[in-house]
Amino acid sequence: MSSQDIIARSATTTPMPSVRQVDEVAKLIDVSKCIGCKACQVACSEWNELRDEVGHNHGTYDNPADLTASSWTLMRFTEHETESDSLEWLIRKDGCMHCAEPGCLAACPSPGAIVKYANGIVDFNQDKCIGCGYCITGCPFNIPRISAKDHKAYKCTLCSDRVAVGLEPACVKTCPTGAIVFGTKEAMKQHAEERIVDLRSRGFAQAGLYDPPGVGGTHVMYVLHHADQPSLYAGLPDDPQISPMVSLWKGITKPLGLLGMGLVALLGFFHYVRVGRNVVEEDEHGPDPAVHQVDPAVHPYDPREPRV
């Protein structure tokens, strides 16, 4: 995507290009259709040329056990017993949500290391990444990971390289059941509506769309059977938002802080101007060369008096 597509940029305080009118895109993950086959995990690794370590089984189906710098998406499996004692195996594809108000971008101190495109994709520029990990601190979804090899932050790019040339993300292309679909955000919301009607007809009265307003909505959305309890799905935040602590840390306090420091310095300066230094008189041997003696021969110039 070109620089004109960048509508937000980390550690940047001036407005970004805004002339380009682009439809916002979204990836919709229908959890009720997902069978947890992990084809998306493999497709993601294939397209992005990632190869994680061959790990261990930790007593669950989740493999790798967590997102890493080389695993940008993974299935999280939850066995949930409902009140009626029936079982649900909730399988959620985890990865970057591409928030409209990205916490990572807000937290990032390196100008341009995190950008948001006009179509909604939030992308990391590893060449500008300094590896501080503030993006992790800022993210309400615990997504970015720092590579132990190069100390750069990585996460799902929503295949911004593919989307830029009109292709769908690799995970979407590969999903065998059509659980992951991609299109304009509007179209995805409509699609979700149909799915929700279907799910309600199957007894999921609380089925709904997960497009959390706390982060301004996301460009990766879920259709959930239990939209009233997102946290059932391996801890998907019920009401994600940029943590108040992060807002405080990265928000208005920053310019105020700078101002504060400047004021303290100015205070000193004006103290000097108005009050002056605290000098020990008895130590002063002879006139201070810094202070000019007033020559009685020199009179101050008064323009009202005619010159003689």
- 273 belongs to the binding site for another protein (CB under 8 A): no
Tokens of residue 271, six digits: 């103290």
CB 9 within 8 A of CB 112: yes
| From 29-37, 115-123, 216-224, 228-236, span contacting another protein (CB under 8 A) | 29-37
CB 240 within 8 A of CB 212: yes
- 60 belongs to the binding site for another protein (CB under 8 A): yes
| From 94-102, 115-123, 229-237, 248-256, span contacting another protein (CB under 8 A) | 248-256
User: Minimum Å distance from CB 255 to another protein?
Assistant: 7
Tokens of residue 275, six digits: 């009050």
Sheet strands (E) in 125-172: 145-146, 153-154
- 201 belongs to the binding site for another protein (CB under 8 A): yes
- Interface residue with another protein, options 3, 17, 23, 51 (CB under 8 A): 51
Question: Which residues 212-241 are close enough to bind another protein by CB under 8 A?
Answer: none
CA angle 141, 44, 120 (to 5 degrees): 50
DSSP-derived 3-state class of residue 88: strand
Cα distances (angstroms) measured from residue 305 to each of 16, 296, 299, 308: 60, 18, 12, 9
Kindly state the number of chain residues that form the binding site for another protein, as judged by CB under 8 A. 88
- 63 belongs to the binding site for another protein (CB under 8 A): yes
Question: Which residues 128-187 are close enough to bind another protein by CB under 8 A?
Answer: 128-134, 136-137, 142, 146, 151, 176-179
Nearer to another protein, 228 or 248 (CB): 248
- 278 belongs to the binding site for another protein (CB under 8 A): yes
Tokens of residue 29, six digits: 């993950």
Nearer to another protein, 178 or 216 (CB): 178
Q: What is the CA radius of gyration of the chain?
A: 29
